[in-house]
């Protein structure tokens, strides 16, 4: 084919891929269109990869095909992990993306020296620093979420000074390389120091903040990809990286807002350390409990029920039983809705994904602010495996680490029922005064079997 026609076709294909990436992000922002969004993103990525195969500068495909095979072999089992393991799986994907970008930057450096301009060296150094720190940072985040590494923040005196000095050292090495690209040992030194900085950056952050950290690392990896796009003169990579980087950043901002935290608080706050309560430890706290039969009698007699799902529903994989409960109550004429907290579960949209999987109608899902304004008219707020996102201490206890975090104010409903296995705290590691209110009934048990018990009772034992 004529090289000019070929160039036009390639550019056209890249433009379509970019348009698909933008549409994918747009569609991903609503549960109703999310599946379409995933498909659009996949088609866009496949188009971008296949089009790149037609680049005339590619002379041999052997190594690309080997990498494709290895990547596919790693990718398939990664795609099959349980929903509860998706945050750590995402962190692993970021780690691989960052590693790939850093390795390409490293090979570009060694292919280009000694004939490398100051501008090119700046691009490569930045790209390799951010790629390397995102690689190790993402690995540590995945390790914490998988509980291979301790979830508690690991902190020591003078830590911020040490971390910033390490970052300063890698920036210094980059500056030396910009003026003297062949300076011996500086390039590998810069890579090693950046890898170390990624470890130091994420280790002091608690497991509870890992999903936010992952969103931040996502934006770093996007930035790396965009920088790599400049290094390789690939417009599609610049745009895809910028979209990835900015969407990751926006997501991190949304998550910080939903938890009433700032970036500095997430990165330097050491949130999630064991809390020692200053008061009330010795107070006798009375807990009211109920059986599935008692719970079903209360639910069956209610006019309005608001279900608030949380991480425990995901762990128990109770979403299908919850859907059955929704069906049976709706059939009895009860108005059932779901109150969704933006950070319920362990990743943004966690509850939406689970409830969509169980075919709960989207229009029955209401956001936190709407749920709170309807709360005084709610007969029963049924909390299924949620804890922190309903904790009234966020409104009342100024000493609480979650003070100021917006919550679903279930304590304003007429009756509160909480399904969980014990009085153990949630991810923030703090007690929940909701469990000891007079209007609260604790329904102790695994979410799936307890909800199953309620459904069985409501349907007269014949599910
Ligand atoms: P949570 O506060 O972590 O509480 C979950 C509760 O589920 C636990 O207290 C646990 O109690 C219960 N549970 C576990 N397994 C269960 C089972 N099989 N059956 C029944 N209950 C079970 O969860 P959340 O209310 O959803 O709050 C999310 C937390 O994660 C917040 O602190 C939020 O800030 C944080 N976070 C979330 C995101 C995000 O993107 N979603 C991001 C960053 C941080 P038992 O052990 O007693 O059963």
What does the alpha-carbon distance between residue 296 and residue 455 come to, in Å, rounded to a whole number? 7
Q: Say if residues 314 and 354 touch (Cβ distance below 8 Å).
A: yes
pLDDT tens digit sequence for 360-387: 998 999 999 999 999 999 999 999 999 9
The closest-lying atom of ligand 1 relative to the alpha carbon of residue 310 is 26
**What are the pLDDT digits (tens) for 189-215?**
999 999 999 999 888 887 777 778 888
Mutate which of 426, 429, 448, 451 to test ligand 1's pocket (most atoms within 8 Å of Cβ)?
426
Mean pLDDT score, 80-84: 80
CA of 239 to the centre of ligand 1 (A): 36
- Phi and psi at residue 116, in whole multiples of 5°? -135, 130
For residue 276, pLDDT over 50 is answered with no
SS3 content of the chain, % helix, strand, coil (to 5): 65, 5, 30
115 versus 154: which is more confidently predicted?
Answer: 115
Q: Which atom of ligand 1 is nearest to the CA of 341?
A: 26
Residue nearest to atom 1 of ligand 1 (CA): 426
Residues facing 337 on adjacent strands? 306
Name the band, by pLDDT with cuts 50, 70 and 90, for residue 342.
confident
Q: What is the mean pLDDT of residues 404-424?
A: 95
Q: How far apart are CA 202 and CA 63, in angstroms?
A: 33
Nearest CA to ligand 1 atom 7: 312
Tell me the H-state helices in 233-318: 235-258, 263-268, 292-301, 311-316
End-to-end CA distance of the chain: 65
**86: CA distance to ligand 1 center in Å?**
15
Residue 268 has what pLDDT? 62
Of all protein residues, the one whose alpha carbon is nearest to atom 16 of ligand 1 is 312
Mean pLDDT of the 144-157 span:
82
Q: With bands split at pLDDT 50, 70 and 90, how would you rate the model's confidence at 274?
A: very low
Testing ligand 1's pocket by substitution, the residue of 90, 342, 346, 435 carrying the most ligand atoms inside 8 A of its CB is: 346
CB contact at 8 A, 260 and 253: no
The residues, ordered by sequence, that sit 6+ positions from 278 with a Cβ below 8 Å of its Cβ are 399
Q: pLDDT over 90 for what percent of the chain?
A: 62
Radius of gyration (C-alpha) of the chain in whole angstroms: 26
Ligand 1 atom index nearest CA of 342: 41
Structure-model confidence comparison of residues 186 and 155, the more confident one: 186
Atom of ligand 1 minimally distant from the CA of 309: 26
420 CA → ligand 1 middle, Å: 10
Active site residues: 388
Q: What is the pLDDT of residues 105-115, one digit of tens each?
A: 999 999 998 88
Task: Please say if the pLDDT value at position 45 is more than 90.
Answer: yes
Identify the pLDDT of residue 85. 82
Whether the predicted model's global pTM rises above the 0.85 cut: no
Q: In the predicted model, what is the mean pLDDT of residues 30-58?
A: 90
Q: Can you read off the two tokens belonging to residue 444? A: 């102790």
Q: Model confidence at 278, in pLDDT bands (50, 70, 90)? A: very low
Q: Which of 147, 211, 343 to mutate to test the pocket of ligand 1 (most atoms within 8 A of CB)?
A: 343
* Residues flanking ligand 1, CB < 6 Å: 208, 211-212, 255, 259, 310-312, 315-316, 343-348, 350, 385-389, 419-422, 424, 426-428, 446-447
Q: Give the mutation target among 340, 387, 406, 422 for probing the ligand 1 site: most ligand atoms within 8 A of CB.
A: 387
Q: How far is the CA of 319 from the centre of ligand 1 (A)?
A: 15
Q: Is the pLDDT of residue 302 over 70?
A: yes
Q: What is the pLDDT of residue 209?
A: 75
Q: Place 12 in a pLDDT band, splitting at 50, 70 and 90.
A: very high
pLDDT of residue 462 exceeding 70, the answer is no
Split at pLDDT 50, 70, 90, the class of 463 is: very low
Residue 413 main-chain phi, psi, to 5 deg: -75, 165
What is the pLDDT at residue 263? 73
Give the pair of three-digit tokens for residue 148: 């291979």
Residues contacting 386, CB < 8 A, separation 6+: 308, 309, 310, 311, 312, 313, 341, 344, 408, 426
pLDDT for residue 56 is more than 90: no
pLDDT over threshold 90, residue 88: no
CA of 387 from ligand 1 middle (Å) equals 6
Give the residue whose CA is nearest to atom 4 of ligand 1: 426
pLDDT bracket for residue 339 (50, 70, 90): very high
Q: Which of the pair, 252 or 171, is modelled with greater confidence? A: 171
Atom of ligand 1 nearest to the CA of 258: 34
CA of 393 to the centre of ligand 1 (A): 16
């Amino acid at each position: 084919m004529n090289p000019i026609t070929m160039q036009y076709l390639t550019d056209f294909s890249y433009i379509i891929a970019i348009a698909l990436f933008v549409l994918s992000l747009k569609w991903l922002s609503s549960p109703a269109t999310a599946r379409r969004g995933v498909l659009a993103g996949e088609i866009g990525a496949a188009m971008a990869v296949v089009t790149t195969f037609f680049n005339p500068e590619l002379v041999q495909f052997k190594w690309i095909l080997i990498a494709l095979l290895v990547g596919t072999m790693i990718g398939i089992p990664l795609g099959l992990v349980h929903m509860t393991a998706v945050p750590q799986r995402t962190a692993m994907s970021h780690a691989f993306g960052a590693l790939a970008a850093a390795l390409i930057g490293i090979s570009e450096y060694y292919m280009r020296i000694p004939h490398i301009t100051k501008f090119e060296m700046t691009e490569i150094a930045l790209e390799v620093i951010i790629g390397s720190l995102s690689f190790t940072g993402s690995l540590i985040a995945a390790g914490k979420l998988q509980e291979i590494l301790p979830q508690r923040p690991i902190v020591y005196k003078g830590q911020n000074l040490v971390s910033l000095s390490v970052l300063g050292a890698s920036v210094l090495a980059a500056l030396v390389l910009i003026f003297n690209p062949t300076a011996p040992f500086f390039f590998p030194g810069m890579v090693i120091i950046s890898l170390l900085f990624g470890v130091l950056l994420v280790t002091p952050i608690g497991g509870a903040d890992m999903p936010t950290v992952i969103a931040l690392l996502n934006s770093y990896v996007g930035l790396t990809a965009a920088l790599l796009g400049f290094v390789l003169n690939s417009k599609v990579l610049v745009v895809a990286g910028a979209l990835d980087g900015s969407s990751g950043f926006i997501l991190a901002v949304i998550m910080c807002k939903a938890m009433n935290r700032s970036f500095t608080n997430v990165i330097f706050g050491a949130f999630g350390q064991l809390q020692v309560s200053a008061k009330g430890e010795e107070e006798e706290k009375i807990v009211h409990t109920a059986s599935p039969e008692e719970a079903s009698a209360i639910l069956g007699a209610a006019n309005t029920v608001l279900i608030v799902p949380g991480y425990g529903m995901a762990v128990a994989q109770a979403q299908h039983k919850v859907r059955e409960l929704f069906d049976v109550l709706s059939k009895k004429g009860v108005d059932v809705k779901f109150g969704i907290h933006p950070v319920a579960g362990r990743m943004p949209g966690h509850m939406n994904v689970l409830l969509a999987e169980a075919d709960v109608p989207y229009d029955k899902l209401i956001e936190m602010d709407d749920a709170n304004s309807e709360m005084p008219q709610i007969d029963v707020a049924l909390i299924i495996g949620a804890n922190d996102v309903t904790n009234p201490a966020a409104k009342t206890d100024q000493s609480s680490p979650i003070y100021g975090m917006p919550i679903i104010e279930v304590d304003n409903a007429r009756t509160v029922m909480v399904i969980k296995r014990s009085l153990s705290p949630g991810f923030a590691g703090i007690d929940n005064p909701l469990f000891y209110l007079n209007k609260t009934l604790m329904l102790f048990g695994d979410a799936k079997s307890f909800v199953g018990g309620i459904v069985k009772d409501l349907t007269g034992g014949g599910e």
